[in-house]
């Protein structure tokens, strides 16, 4: 049986990739994808701990995270569509009206 730490390392790596993506990519859709990566990293940890602690609550939690993520993606994509309609771009470095 693969130990808990194996899964945690995979989860950590996924999270690092997600954070890096959010910081380095300029395309809003890709940034949204990277956020999904981070959420999935958390999910993986949940499931791994669920098995380790022999408690199904972790999996139920993952279920809710998925619901929230689905809602978040739809709203996020709708915002991106609206952004594109107004600015003709979804590159976040070109959308910077709120600057001092």
Partner 1 sequence: MDSAWLIPAFPFAGFVLNGLWGRRLSRKQVGMVACGAMALAFATALGLFWLLLRHSPDQRVWEPVYYTWMAVGDFSVNASFLLDPLTMVMVLVVTGVGFLIHIYSTGYMHDDPGYARYFAYLNLFACAMLILVLAGNLLVLFVGWEGVGLCSYLLIGFWYEKQSASDAGKKAFIVNRIGDFGFLLAIFLTFWTFGTLDFREIFHAALLRFQPGDGVVTAITLLLFVGAVGKSAQLPLYVWLPDAMEGPTPVSALIHAATMVTAGVYMVARCSVLYALAPLSMGVVAAVGCATAVFAATIGLVQNDIKRVLAYSTVSQLGYMFLGCGVGAYVAGIFHLMTHAFFKALLFLGAGSVIHALGGEQDIRRMGGLRRQLPVTFWTFLAASLAISGIVPFAGFFSKDEILFETLVTGHGVLYVLALGGAALTAFYMFRLVFRTFLGESHVDPESAHHVHEAPLSMAVPLMVLAVLSLVGGWVQVPMLENGKRLGRFLAPVFEDAEGLLTEGTAHGSHASLWTEGVFMALSVVVALAGIGLAYRWYVADPTRPERVAARFSRAYRWLLNKYYVDELYQAVVVELLKRLAETVHEWVDRAAIDAVVDGAGAFFRHAGTHLRRIQTGLVQHYALSILAGACLLILAALAV
Partner 2 sequence: MELFLFVIFSLLTVGSAAAVVWHPHPVKSALFLILSFFSMGGLYLLLQAEFIALMQVLVYAGAVMVLFLFVIMLLNLKPRGEDRTAFKVRIRWAGPLALLFVGGVLTAMTGALARVAPAGAQGPEWVVAQGGNIRALGRLLFTRGLLPFEVTSILLLVAVVGVMVLAKKERR
Interface residues with partner 1 (CB under 8 A) are: 19, 22-23, 26, 92-93, 96-100
Alpha helix positions (H), the chain? 4-24, 28-53, 57-87
Judge contact between 46 and 59, C-beta under 8 A: yes
| Best CA proximity match to 43, nearest among 31, 56, 59, 28 | 59
Taking CB within 5 to 8 Å according to partner kind, which of partner 1, partner 2, none is near residue 12? Answer: partner 2
Of 16 and 67, the one with the shorter C-beta distance to partner 1 is 16
Question: Which positions lie near partner 2, rule CB under 8 A?
Answer: 1-2, 4-8, 10, 12-21, 23-27, 29-30, 32-34, 36-37, 40, 43-44, 47-57, 59-60, 62-64, 66-75, 77-82, 84-85, 90-91
Taking CB within 5 to 8 Å according to partner kind, which of partner 2, partner 1, none is near residue 92? Answer: partner 1
Sign of CA pseudo-dihedral 52, 55, 56, 59 = negative
């Amino acid at each position: 049986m693969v130990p808990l730490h194996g899964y945690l390392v995979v989860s950590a790596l996924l999270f690092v990739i997600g954070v890096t993506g959010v910081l380095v990519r300029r395309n809003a859709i890709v940034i949204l994808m990277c956020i999904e990566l981070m959420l999935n990293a958390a999910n993986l940890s949940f499931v791994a701990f669920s098995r380790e602690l022999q408690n199904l609550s972790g999996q139920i939690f993952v279920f809710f995270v998925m619901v929230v993520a689905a809602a978040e993606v739809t709203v996020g994509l709708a915002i991106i569509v609206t952004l594109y309609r107004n600015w003709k771009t979804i590159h976040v470095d070109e959308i910077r009206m709120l600057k001092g």
